[in-house]
């Protein structure tokens, strides 16, 4: 994606120079989360929740923009996403987990914001364009075209100043800043212009070697997969195609498995793997077994928590309802304030 450097400088947060207060992140509940989510966002959120007030939004309305034909799947998917969050270390005492549709004030703010942006910048938004193309959309629904406006409301309603996201979400944060600025200028508002916190290691390659691990490409290792399934997925993953025998010299730079070692393995194993592969001292089968060991170690503590929550499913819904209720208080106060600035508080 091409983003001009001026845009980047303005919208990207610098944690070393400024102090931020409140984080908002979110996911669409479209299915179980995978290792790509872990590397690209979950790991970062677990680090950040100690440092900042953290809100995590399960964006079920945004999920409808592409899944409106199957709203009945949302409930199960919300549960699965929350289960993945809690299992991997998002701590409900430090992070507030929110269900988007249960904060109707977000939709209210979205409708006010929708007056402040014309349709052309939305149509030219690079992320919308890429997504529409990937999904083969010829016509865009009003909801799909407008989801960045709703996302702006997600962020602004909680006065979040920091939004940790992958680089593909940067155009949305830039848009959020524009809308918030316009709102504040027009109505003497007190909304907060957010910054994007971009994780450098924000993408994991797919098992098939394609650029991105993604549920829709069917090339993902889910956090909830059992070990046998993970083992067989790793076994079938693409490596250096030119390497036919374990003693051939390999090239880790073009190997999917090596990119996973980079993401998950410790320094010593990484160095050893690189050397042994380049010098034909380790075969792909053994290298994959090593990786499986590393992934298993990562997932083991998560699976203990997962087993606990699967026995206590009501606890998950309790956490979701409590988080949402807490968030709703902030949201209704912001909407009241926004209406006051707009002089439409009757």
Only one of the segments 57-65, 208-216, 281-289, 328-336 lies at the binding site for ligand TRP (rule: CB under 6 A); that segment is 57-65
Residue of the chain from 22, 25, 149, 327 that contacts ligand TRP (CB under 6 A): 25
Of 57 and 284, nearer to ligand TRP (C-beta) is 57
Closest-by-Cβ residue to ligand TRP is: 26
Closest CA to 238 of 198, 275, 211: 211
* CA pseudo-torsion sign 232, 235, 236, 237: positive
Of 172 and 288, nearer to ligand TRP (C-beta) is 172
Strand, coil or helix: 331 = helix
Of 57 and 330, nearer to ligand TRP (C-beta) is 57
Of 23 and 257, nearer to ligand TRP (C-beta) is 23
Please compute, for residue 272, the number of CA atoms within 13 A of its CA located in the half-sphere on the CB side: 11
- Total binding residues toward ligand TRP, as defined by CB under 6 A: 14
The 10 Å CB-count burial string (b at 16+, else e) for 46-64 is: bebbeebbbbbbbbbbbbb
CA 179 to chain centroid: 22
For the chain, what percentages of helix, strand and coil (3-state, to nearest 5) are there?
A: 60, 10, 35
Residues 246, 259 contacting (CB under 8 angstroms)? no
Of 168 and 272, nearer to ligand TRP (C-beta) is 168
Neighbour tally for 314: CB within 10 Å: 8
Of 80 and 234, nearer to ligand TRP (C-beta) is 80
Q: Is 59 a residue that touches ligand TRP (CB under 6 A)?
A: yes
Residues in region 125-164 near ligand TRP by CB under 6 A: 151, 154-155, 163
Residue of the chain from 20, 23, 27, 330 that contacts ligand TRP (CB under 6 A): 27
Q: How far is residue 165's CA from residue 172's CA, in Å, rounded to a whole number?
A: 10
Minimum CB distance to ligand TRP, residue 242 (Å): 36
Binding characters for ligand TRP, 60-99, by CB under 6 A (x = yes): --x-------------------------------------
Only one of the segments 20-28, 87-95, 197-205, 256-264 lies at the binding site for ligand TRP (rule: CB under 6 A); that segment is 20-28
Cβ contacts of residue 232 below 8 Å, gap of 6+?
none
Q: How far is residue 164's CA from residue 143's CA, in Å, rounded to a whole number?
A: 24
Residues at the site binding ligand TRP, with contacts judged by CB under 6 A: 24-28, 57, 59, 62, 151, 154-155, 163, 165, 169
């Amino acid at each position: 994606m091409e983003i001009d450097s001026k845009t980047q400088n303005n919208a990207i947060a610098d944690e070393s120079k400024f102090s931020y207060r409140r984080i908002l992140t979110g996911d669409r509940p479209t299915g179980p989360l995978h290792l790509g989510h872990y590397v690209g966002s979950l790991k970062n959120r677990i680090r950040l929740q100690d440092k900042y007030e953290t809100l995590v939004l399960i964006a079920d309305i945004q999920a409808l923009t592409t899944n409106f034909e199957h709203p009945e799947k949302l409930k199960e998917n919300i549960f699965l996403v929350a289960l993945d969050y809690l299992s991997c270390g998002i701590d409900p005492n430090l992070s507030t987990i929110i269900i988007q549709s249960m904060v109707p004030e977000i939709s209210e703010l979205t409708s006010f914001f929708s007056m402040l942006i014309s349709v052309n910048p939305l149509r030219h938004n690079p992320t919308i364009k890429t997504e529409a193309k990937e999904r083969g959309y010829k016509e865009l629904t009003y909801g799909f075209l407008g989801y960045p406006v709703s996302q702006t409301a997600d962020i602004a309603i909680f006065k979040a100043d920091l939004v940790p996201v992958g680089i593909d979400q940067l155009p949305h944060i830039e848009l959020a800043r524009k809308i918030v600025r316009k709102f504040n200028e027009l109505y003497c508002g007190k909304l907060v212009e957010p910054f994007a916190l971009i994780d450098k290691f924000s993408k994991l390659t797919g098992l098939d070697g394609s650029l991105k691990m993604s549920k829709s490409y069917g090339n993902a290792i889910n956090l909830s997969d059992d070990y046998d399934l993970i083992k067989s997925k790793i076994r079938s993953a693409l490596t250096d195609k030119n390497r036919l025998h374990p003693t051939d010299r390999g090239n880790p730079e073009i190997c999917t498995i090596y990119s996973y070692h980079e993401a998950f393995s410790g320094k010593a194993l990484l160095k050893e793997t690189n050397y042994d592969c380049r010098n034909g001292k380790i075969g792909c089968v053994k290298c994959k077994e090593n990786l499986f060991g590393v992934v298993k170690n990562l997932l083991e503590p998560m699976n203990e928590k997962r087993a606990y929550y699967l026995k206590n499913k009501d606890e998950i819904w309790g956490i979701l309802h409590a988080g949402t209720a807490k968030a709703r208080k902030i949201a209704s106060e912001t909407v009241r304030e926004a209406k006051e600035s707009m002089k439409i508080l009757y």
